[in-house]
Each structure stands twice: as structure tokens, then as C-alpha cells.
Amino acid sequence: MKKVKKLTIVSMTAILAASSLAACGSSSTPNATTAAAAAGTTVASETTASNESTSAAKESSQAAVESGGAKTVGDKKFKVGICQLVQHNALDAATKGFEETLEKELGDNVTIDLQNAQGDSATCATIVNGFVSNEYDLIMANATPALQAAVSATTDIPILGTSVTDYGTALNMSNFSGTTGINVSGTSDLAPLDQQEDMILELVPDVKKVGILYCSAEANSKFQATQIEKYLDEDGVQYQEYTFSDSNDLQSVVTSAVGNIDALYIPTDNTAASNMTVVNNVTEPAKIPVICGEENMMKSGGLATLSISYYDLGAATAKQAIDILVNGADVSTMEIAYASATTKEYNKKYADAIGITIPSDYTAVE
């Protein structure tokens, strides 16, 4: 497999030429926005898809991903572009799983162009527009802003998302039921949110108020926050949202939260994931239990998580790509696939630091 990895440097002219969606970025790009193609795009909004339909989609899509292998590739050559929103461990693992699975199955028949937007949503648009101009055979979009940029850039090239929590929210589809009906499919990193809320009550049984921390412009973070709030309401637990616009605001927002809460929940938010050390520097001295949306966030500064494997998620996305490229599968009718297994994990160092005892069915992660 041929790989082309490059850090995209985008001029201000290119960024300003594109229309935008608001999105959180790194501290070096606090005003970054998601650029849309000339046809425009719709800002992602919340969805209220039921747990029952989500569960059904998970079962059928997982079976589809695990079904047979590819036909003989022969002399076919494929060009695949990967747009990754930002560098952090979860997204890196998904990209690695995708690349290594394609390498194993397609070898030198595929050329991969991996580009990282460095947390700048506008750069995602420039990257995927380049993929479209170069007539790539498939685009893999790693994280929601990358997916939204790809959808704005093309209606023809197959797009596969990964590390996307809820496709209905990301694509502004209020009637989403497992397939998109357009040139988009992929994999979701949505762990069971009701079980994550159960973790809060299990680890902090006397909890009175939970803080929910996320970047205000990440649509899938808002979706997760809304779902967690619903479960907290059912259990009679108070909560308060603490949102930040970019990493510059994060420390002050967390500092304002810790004096008013008994526990903190952070969904799979890309900006938070890239800055968990900032969170840890405030929450650990305050002895606040932090429940995270995924494993790598927990390792970097949280207490516990219900973990999925992002490497496996990327590998599953690669299997979808092979089905599309080699077998001619229709991306518009391909079910969104979900992680098939979860693990209850905790950060032993953090638990010891805040003096909390963890139940025996949790796996310690150093």
C-alpha cells in the first residue's frame, strides 16, 4: 500500500473563500470554522432518535460489517483520502485501524492520502475539496466536522465516517434510522449512554449534582449531553452544563465547575480529548470524579469510562470501504456500524489521587 501523509498548510485566502460552520478548535485556531462547499451545508442539530431504533441499527449494521471478504481485486487501483480532524489518541487509533486493514486486504492496489486538519474545521473543507478535485475513489472522514465538510464537498464520491457519535445529528437528519440514503455511511463511536450515566451513580453514590463539560460547537457532544441529562432526570440527579468555545476557555470553565459539582461527565468531545491535561490539572486537586466518553480521555486525566476500541472501529470502517470499492456495495444503503463490545475501565492513578474505591468489575488502566 502506498501512503501519502502530509500536514496541510492552508492560506487565509483559501479559508476565507469557504463558507463556514461554527466549530471548536485548538488554542492556536480559536476562531476556526467548518468551511462548506459552494453548494452549502446545514448546521448539525440535535436528534431524538430512540434507543430502540439505535439498538436495531447496531445489530444489523454489525452483522453487515462482519460479513464476507472482498472479491479478487486484480489490477484495480484505488485512491482513498483520509481527513482527520485533529491529532489525539482515539482518532489516531481509528485512522491506524483503517489504514492497516486496507493494507492487509488491498496492498499496493490502494494509495492512501492521510491529511490532518490540526483541529481547524475550515481546513477539513480545504482537504476534502482537494480529494474531490483529484477524483479520489473514497473519502474517510474521521470525526464529525470532517464528515460535515466531506458531505458539503461531494454528492458523488462515497464517504465513510468514523469516530462520529450520531449520524442523524451530524447530517441534520431528524428521521435517521440507520442508513443515510445519500453517499454516506460509516461507523459510530457511541457507547451506551445509559450505562455511562449508571457509572456516575455507581462510582459516586451520594452524587447531588453532575457537571457536563463539552465544546459548545461540537454537535455530537451536545447530542450526548442531552441524552445523559435525560437519564439523570430519570434518576432525580441535578446537573449543569459547562460549555467552552475553544481550548483557550477550557481551564476557566473547569475551574468554575469544580466548586459546584460532585462529579464531571465529558462526552467524546474532540477539543476536550486534545486537552485532558488541562482538565486534570483542575479536577484532580479538587478530588472530582471525572467520567469520560472514551478510554484515551480517561487515561489522560479522568477516572473511568465505558470503553470501546477505536482501532477496531477504524478496521470496521475499512471493511466497509473494501465492500464499496471492490464489491460495488451501495454506500447509501449501507448501515451505520457500531462498536460490538464495551469494557468498564478506570484510571488507577486518578482513583488513588482522589481517594475513591472502584468496584471489582472495572479493569484498571495505568
For the cut 50, the answer to whether the pLDDT of residue 183 exceeds it is yes
Domain count, the chain: 2
- Pair 151, 268 in one domain: no
Structural domain span for residue 331: 2-189+309-335
How is residue 240 written as a grid cell? 449543569
- Pair 25, 137 in one domain: yes
| pLDDT for position 107 | 95
For the cut 50, the answer to whether the pLDDT of residue 13 exceeds it is no
pLDDT, mean of residues 151-156: 98
Rounded to 5 degrees, φ, ψ at 264 are -125, 130
Q: Could you read off the pLDDT of 15-27 as tens digits, one per residue?
A: 333 333 334 544 4
- Pair 26, 153 in one domain: yes
- Pair 175, 225 in one domain: no
- Pair 56, 116 in one domain: yes
pLDDT, mean of residues 241-251: 95
Q: Could you read off the pLDDT of 57-80 as tens digits, one per residue?
A: 444 344 434 443 445 567 899 999
- Pair 172, 227 in one domain: no
Which CATH number is 358's domain given?
A: 3.40.50.2300
Read out DSSP for 119-148?
T-HHHHHHHHHHHHHTT-SEEEEESHHHHH
Q: Are 105 and 71 in contact (CB under 8 A)?
A: no
- Pair 46, 163 in one domain: yes
Range with the poorest average pLDDT among 3-7, 169-173, 230-234, 318-322: 3-7
Rounded CA separation 150/156 (Å): 11
Rounded CA separation 231/8 (Å): 41
- Pair 146, 240 in one domain: no
- Pair 170, 237 in one domain: no
- Pair 282, 354 in one domain: yes
Q: Are 261 and 291 in contact (CB under 8 A)?
A: no
Q: Could you read off the pLDDT of 88-102 as tens digits, one per residue?
A: 999 999 999 999 999
- Pair 185, 201 in one domain: no
